[in-house]
Structure 1
Amino acid sequence: MTDVQPAESTSTNLLERLIVRDSQAWGRFAAIYTPLVFRWAKGSGLQSADVADVTQDVFRVVATKLQSFERTTSKQGSFRRWLWGITRNILRQHFDANSKTAQGTGGTTAHRLITAVPDYLESDEPPHDADAEKSLVHRALKAIEGDFQPHTWKAFWRMTVEQQSANEIADSLGMTPRAVRQAKYRVLSRLREELLQ
């Protein structure tokens, strides 16, 4: 019977690769996280061009401050919370700059711009959006799928998503139940790494 090959889960940590400016890691990181930052910025009510500018500014700051991010087991140390903090600060700066410009014109337009800062910018916690979270996980899964042997991926998928038993999967894929459980563990471990958890 086939066991999962240990080499499949030995890729270097995404965070470490980002810190050393690995261009493939940055491409993967951008593919996973750009839509999330874009969604957060869009949720603040900005126009599409401003959303794109804010998103670009967020990633510029992330590139310069990534070494300061420290993973912890607490919720406060989560990467998404850290990324939200940067996004929130960039959005605040954007709204502050627009309110100063608008104050010169006065009237209802200025008042609307000054009061347009969304309430969720006051929270340290990223806006809760189940669809955004699901999309983030799907993008990360898509990014790591090619890093695994097909039988490992199938075992993970069938056990985790399709919720089949390890014995059932083992029989159909020619693996041991232990190898099926290892496949699930390895893919989920990589997923956590990819999501910088």
Structure 2
Amino acid sequence: MMDTSVSFLDSLKDTSDEEAWQRLVGLYSPLIHGWLKRHGAAPGDLDDVCQEVLTVVFRRFPEFRREPRAGAFRTWLRTITVYCVRDHWRKKNRQAKGIGGSDFGEVIAQLEDPESGLSAQWNRDHDRHVLQYLLDEVRPSFTDNTWQAFQRFALDGLSADEVSQELGISVNAVFVAKSRILSRLRHRGQGLIE
């Protein structure tokens, strides 16, 4: 596992860092694949389009600038996905038809519009997926007791007093657990979720 002092996006600056790029593929392949499938892309196109998106991200990453816009990477990835889907169908010289006769081309047009409900859904899906990935990634760095305190307090919504009593630790230890894990998550996910 990579040094925790480096954010996810910063680790990708070195295009020769194979581990960092494998992490990107591991993070974004399921998101892109699942999103396209849920919104009606033809099953035979999913793997090809996903690979095309990640290839473009790799090739063009040196051009990516995350400042000053919040959600810049998420938006950039959405734009690349739209481009790759359209290009994929253009190459196959066919109309974008989805499952059940739905017009997947209309879905892509909505996804391209940053003000559409579908773009807002992309943002929510992206953030939820990335957060779960980051939680899974940082989990091994903390003791079970620290993680349980964080989970019960920050994720499950119990009060610090309830968690303190449940785990037999001080209220201060509950706040410290939350602070330490959130700090790690913020740093690792810097630029991915805003």
Fold shared, TM-score > 0.5 on shorter chain:
yes
Larger Rg: 1
- Identity in percent: 33
Does the alignment pair 1:51 with 2:43? no
Which amino acid in 2 is paired with 1:90?
C
Cα offset, 1:52, TM superposition: 0.5
Q: Indicate conservation of the 8 Å contact 1:120/1:127, yes or no.
A: no
Structure 1's unaligned 5+ residue stretches are: 1-8, 103-109
Cα 1:133/1:14, change in 2 over 3 Å = closer
CA distance in 1: counterparts of 2:7 and 2:84, whole angstroms: 27
CA distance in 2: counterparts of 1:11 and 1:173, whole angstroms: 29
Question: 1:34-77 CA deviation, whole Å, 9 max, x = no partner?
Answer: 111113333553322311011001111111222333334644x4
Does the alignment pair 1:26 with 2:21? yes
| Counterpart position of 2:136 | 142
CA distance in 1: counterparts of 2:24 and 2:170, whole angstroms: 34
Alignment RMSD (CA, Å)? 3.2
Question: 1:81-133 CA deviation, whole Å, 9 max, x = no partner?
Answer: 111111111112123333xx34xxxxxxx6979x7512324313635066665
Q: Secondary structure at the match of 1:186?
A: helix
Cα 1:83/1:94, change in 2 over 3 Å = same
Cα 1:91/1:111, change in 2 over 3 Å = closer
| Counterpart position of 1:159 | 153
Structure 2's unaligned 5+ residue stretches are: none
TM-score, normalising length from structure 2?
0.72
TM-score, normalising length from structure 1?
0.71
